[in-house]
Structure 1
Amino acid sequence: MPRLLVFGHDPESGAIAEALAGSEFDSEVVTVASREAALTTLDRQRIDCVITGYDVPDERGRTYMGGLRLLEAVREEHGDLPVVIFTDVVNEDSLRLAAANGVRAYVRDQPGEDAVGQLRYHVDSAIRGQLAERRAAEQDRINHLMRGVTQTLVLEEDRGEMLAALCSELTEQAVYRYAAYHERRETGVDPEPDSAAGSASGETSDTGLARRCVERGTVETARLRRLVGDDSETDAGATDPAAKACETLLRVAVPIGYEDERFGVLVLETDPEHAVYESETAVLAELGEAIGHALNAVETRDALEQRETELERRTEQLERFASLVSHDVRNPLNVAQGYVDLLEERSDDPAIEEIAQSLDRIEAIISDILALTRAEQELTLAPTELTVVVSDAWAAVDTPNATLEIAKGASEDGGLPRVEADASQLQRVFENLFRNAIEHGRPDEGEDAEAVTLTVHVTFDAEDGELVVADDGVGFPDGATAALFELGETGSRDGTGIGLAIVGDLLERHGWTVTAENGPSGGACFRIGGIKPLE
């Protein structure tokens, strides 16, 4: 609310105050009858315009030209503060002296002239100018403050330290004298702040403002009155018999959130003379969003760090388990296989063959577990020739009565492309796919099952960026392929449920996809998509 200072004799000052009551602004009018009281008021309160008579008491109590002397004092101590002289004294000397000291207006109270209308016009004009200057100055301060706050949000990584630094930054720039962050709770807002800085005038617990802010998701303001000598607060508009003994407080609540999540409320207290304009409200709303983004980033980073720590712990456990499997399990397994070899030399009992097959299965499980452990290692990507990788993988697998065919496909050079990949891990992918074809592509029963020939085709479709590995075997029973790449799932009673899980994991880490289906000829068909050949 604008505040006017009227200096003059009673009833003159009362008449001026009454005349100003019909002005454009709902201003507070402070009347004084002495120069000392006028200057004291200017020192202690924010005044938007001074209205004085011409013949008013000066520092010595003389009334002659007292208004001009007050104007000189205002210019010396308060710069360009608007001063309007309202008087019936009119002469060239007084006008010249007033103009020389920068009087805002010299309104003549003469019969036949609309003196009251002119007074209101000049006072309203002065108020508009003061409000515009104050608004611009406060906006500059707030913009400067927000730049500092933004730097705080960027530099601080710990949540608690960020909130503490934020509150300190907000109170160090003379815009807000108190700042506090209140965490949102299921039942509303925590009355005790998580972080706070500055000095609050009165009770800092939730008075309803923060709760309304959270519920509405908008910047909320309230002028509160604190009874002098009392910690209780009331709404500024409430009826209060002790209103004249109240201190007015301006509190602002800013919602802090990210997207649809509400983290809490930033409560600010500022000078009661401070006017929160629409532009400042918009800036504070953006600040709330920025703080919400920063808090979300910190929480996301903390969650990722916790996840990384957990993964490191699990990796260490997996490595210890792999070491246990590799040494403590494999050693007695080798001893058992040695004894089976001796028994096979001495007897043709069919049970010995069953034991040997079971030991081979245990060995396969151990190999797959060790491969799964190595698959968790970080990928080393480099330009890789797929043709070389596929050929090396085929050579590394026992492939009796099986043939590999790398089809011409649709690539420009008629072969497999160069890609960005980890060659050793990618080779493991194809080894597992080829091993799957050899072990599960032939019939499970029959004396001549192993004698059945098998052909594995590898084709690359450049148009779709898809590599196809297909065989002409028996395919998947009942077309059941949905869960093949999950750990522990297998399409055969002799499978370990690990090999294809490794395939899916490694291809996903390369940014590729894999699906399985029965091909047109009935055999198993794996489609690896998302491949981008290198130039």
Structure 2
Amino acid sequence: MADALDAIRVFHIDDDPEFAELVATFLEREHDRIEVRSATDAEAGLDVLAERDVDCIVSDHDMPGRDGIEFLRAVREEYPDLPFLLFTGKGSEEIASDAISAGVTDYIQKGGGTDQYALLANRVVNAVEAVQSRRMLTERTRRLETLIGNLPGIVYRCRNDPGWPMKTVDGEVEPLTGYTAAELEADRISWGNDIVHPDEREAVWDAVQNGLATDSAFEVTYRIRTRDGDTKWVWELDEHDRARRLRESHDELRRQNERLEEFVSVVSHDLRNPLNVATGRLDLARDDCDSEQLDAVKHAHDRMEALIEDLLALAREGEAATDLDAVDPAAMVRECWTNVETVDASLAVEFDGAILADERRLRQLFENLVRNAVEHGGDGVTVTIGELDGGFFLEDDGVGIPADRRESVFEAGYSTSREGTGFGLRIVKQVVEAHGWEIRVTESRDGGARFEVTNVAPADE
């Protein structure tokens, strides 16, 4: 199954075609990354899997021919890591137990109302992104192991002592020296006293000490004597325990990914699910009574949802923008303008050209800058995007940002509006840094706020 950078391709199997169409409609409405293809039986499902890339399967249990558990077992034989969600109206401990034993990713019972589709959409996105995170970690691990495995000779750690007592030794130790790694690590054989040629020991020691004293990497070429008494020339490059630091970086990356996955799971599932329930209960309460207090509850729900979306945007994005392409900022801002509630604000465009950027992440930047201008600029604000030497700006003619607060606006949680989440401009800063750009806040030509993004490469370079 191929990873999806943008779209999440969902394959839904349910023997009721009308219900399958309804699920597809709601899933695609709930999350704009989801694309749904449907089938009415498991056999057709297996045929589709053999022909198309799929990121996640959602399957009913009771179906003609193979049921959902049998379909799951067949899928697991060919696609052991493909997310598989059992979405069924027939719930029991026995079915749940069988599904878990067969390797189901998640188990969701059908219910009344539309809340179930929001839950299903969230579970789909979580499952797919968890798999993609594991694949990314596996690939980074593979690259690290390949790096270490392909290094010629040996990689070692030792104490800074004339005998070079070894802590760890990896690589082609025995073919190179005639001694085993275990002998060196146990200090039965001394690299400095038994292997380095006597005529080279002083020069090697001096070269290493000079490198350490200047805190710089160094290299040295010298002779060694093998167990059989042969003399060999070796070239040694020291980068202050680069191999160890690579391993430690890998371990820390794994721990960070685990913490990030746990955080995203809590925010996406454990927080959003109760919010979905609360929103559904609010809709039911509106049927029973008409109270202005319910409007305040709805506002609180909307704010919680906005906070969740912004937190996930911060957590899910990587440190670098790698999917660079030619993007027209003017056209993108116009598109983003339609996605933001701009009320009576207006847009002016003074940009003609294209830049190199990650289109999806640049859209995040513009939507957040536009939303910030509309929320803080005041009634009838005009927002302008224009061209700079080596970049672009987006400004408004609103109330502006005081000079002593301009750096603070990029801090997570900072907001002067009760409508804002305090994460929008932090996301802007994150997108800028991911591209290697720079951003500054200043005063616009009309006294409002102006955000200048520089160090941006034009698309024709």
The answer to whether the aligner puts 1:330 opposite 2:311 as a matched pair is no
Residue 473 of structure 1 and its aligned partner are, at CA, apart by 1.8
Match of 2:311 in 1: 369
Match of 2:130 in 1: none
CA distance in 1, matches of 2:445, 2:196: 78
Match of 1:158 in 2: 155
Residue 327 of structure 1 and its aligned partner are, at CA, apart by 2.8
Match of 2:383 in 1: 456
Residue 258 of structure 1 and its aligned partner are, at CA, apart by 5.2
* Contact in 1 for aligned 2:391/2:452 (Cα 8 Å): yes
Out of 376-385 and 355-364, give the one that drifted further: 376-385
Distance 1:479-1:523 versus aligned 2 partners, 3 A rule: farther
Partner SS for 1:159: strand
Partner SS for 1:522: coil
* Contact in 2 for aligned 1:381/1:421 (Cα 8 Å): yes
Partner SS for 2:238: helix
Instruction: Describe the superposition over 1:331-354 as per-residue Cα deviations: whole angstroms up to 9, x where unpaired.
Output: 221222233345456656443333
Aligned residue identity for 2:215:
E
Q: Which has the higher contact order (CA 8 A, sep 6+)?
A: 2
Structure 1 unaligned spans of 5+ = 1-152, 173-180, 182-189, 202-208, 214-218, 221-251, 272-283, 408-414, 443-451
Residue 312 of structure 1 and its aligned partner are, at CA, apart by 4.0
Distance 1:263-1:405 versus aligned 2 partners, 3 A rule: closer
Aligned residue identity for 1:430:
F
Q: 1:255 aligns with which of 186, 208, 227?
A: 208
The answer to whether the aligner puts 1:319 opposite 2:273 as a matched pair is no
* Contact in 2 for aligned 1:368/1:499 (Cα 8 Å): yes
* Contact in 2 for aligned 1:484/1:491 (Cα 8 Å): no
Distance 1:431-1:253 versus aligned 2 partners, 3 A rule: closer
Residue 365 of structure 1 and its aligned partner are, at CA, apart by 0.5
Residue 522 of structure 1 and its aligned partner are, at CA, apart by 2.6
Residue 308 of structure 1 and its aligned partner are, at CA, apart by 4.2
Q: CA RMSD in A?
A: 4.5
CA distance in 1, matches of 2:354, 2:220: 55
Q: 1:387 aligns with which of 323, 330, 334?
A: 330
Residue 518 of structure 1 and its aligned partner are, at CA, apart by 3.2
Q: 5 Å matches for 1:454-493? A: 454-461=381-388, 464-477=389-402, 479-493=404-418
Match of 2:357 in 1: 421
Residue 406 of structure 1 and its aligned partner are, at CA, apart by 0.8
Match of 2:448 in 1: 523
Aligned residue identity for 2:400:
G
Match of 1:356 in 2: 298
Residue 510 of structure 1 and its aligned partner are, at CA, apart by 1.0
Out of 163-172 and 331-340, give the one that drifted further: 163-172
CA distance in 2, matches of 1:496, 1:326: 17
CA distance in 1, matches of 2:271, 2:220: 60
Aligned residue identity for 2:343:
P
Partner SS for 1:532: coil
Q: 2:347 aligns with which of 401, 404, 407?
A: 404
Aligned residue identity for 2:274:
P
* Contact in 1 for aligned 2:154/2:172 (Cα 8 Å): no
Distance 1:311-1:517 versus aligned 2 partners, 3 A rule: farther
Residue 459 of structure 1 and its aligned partner are, at CA, apart by 0.2
Partner SS for 1:456: strand
Aligned residue identity for 2:273:
N
Match of 1:510 in 2: 435
TM value normalised by structure 2? 0.51
CA distance in 1, matches of 2:414, 2:176: 57
Instruction: Describe the superposition over 1:223-273 as per-residue Cα deviations: whole angstroms up to 9, x where unpaired.
Output: xxxxxxxxxxxxxxxxxxxxxxxxxxxxx85434257138999999999xx
Residue 402 of structure 1 and its aligned partner are, at CA, apart by 1.4
* Contact in 1 for aligned 2:218/2:238 (Cα 8 Å): no
CA distance in 2, matches of 1:312, 1:368: 24
The answer to whether the aligner puts 1:300 opposite 2:242 as a matched pair is yes
CA distance in 1, matches of 2:343, 2:459: 34
Structure 2 unaligned spans of 5+ = 1-149, 158-167, 226-232
Distance 1:401-1:168 versus aligned 2 partners, 3 A rule: same
Residue 166 of structure 1 and its aligned partner are, at CA, apart by 9.4
Match of 2:426 in 1: 501
Residue 401 of structure 1 and its aligned partner are, at CA, apart by 1.0
CA distance in 1, matches of 2:263, 2:447: 39
Percent identical residues: 31
* Contact in 1 for aligned 2:385/2:394 (Cα 8 Å): yes
TM value normalised by structure 1? 0.45
Aligned residue identity for 1:389:
M
CA distance in 2, matches of 1:260, 1:367: 48
Partner SS for 2:342: coil
CA distance in 2, matches of 1:313, 1:321: 12
Q: 5 Å matches for 1:34-45? A: none
Distance 1:499-1:311 versus aligned 2 partners, 3 A rule: farther
Residue 431 of structure 1 and its aligned partner are, at CA, apart by 0.8
Distance 1:168-1:156 versus aligned 2 partners, 3 A rule: closer
